[in-house]
Amino acid sequence: EHGEKEEAKSGGMGGMGGMGGMGGGMGSGMMMSMAHPIHLHGQQFQILSRKISSMGSPGYDTIKDGFIDSGWKDTVLVMPGEEVEVAKPFQDYKGLFLYHCHNLEHEGLDMMRQFYIS
């Protein structure tokens, strides 16, 4: 069913893939090398998996042992070059849902987005 499984990723364009794609302004400079705490407003999800590219591996290796991915979340830290797969049931909810990077300077750079569940 549409929307039950979405994908958040921060890579070459620093985006959030399955939930509409985020990329504007994220392809250069320090923003691309920063971690992104991605938050889904008013909803919770479960982290299914993490994949890291070789580009993001050095930074990821310094903190990966501190991640606690079990349980329900409303925010996930996505490292540069990382792809995080999450699952969220939307059976009772329809409409627009907001997600964004919690780094305030990123919210104005197309990292505050929405997706629609019909």
At residue 2, the pLDDT reads: 42
Each residue of 17-69: pLDDT tens digit?
344 333 333 444 556 678 889 999 888 999 999 888 877 677 777 777 888 89
For the chain, count helices (H), then strands (E): 3, 8
Please give the Cα distance from 51 to 43 (Å, whole number). Answer: 23
> pLDDT at position 110, please?
74
pLDDT for 9: 40
CA–CA dist 48, 34 (Å, integer): 22
> For domain 5-117, is the CATH number 2.60.40.420?
yes
6 — alpha (psi -120 to 50), left (phi > 0) or beta?
A: beta
SS3 117: strand
The domain segmentation of the chain, as residue ranges, is 5-117
Q: What is the pTM of this model?
A: 0.68
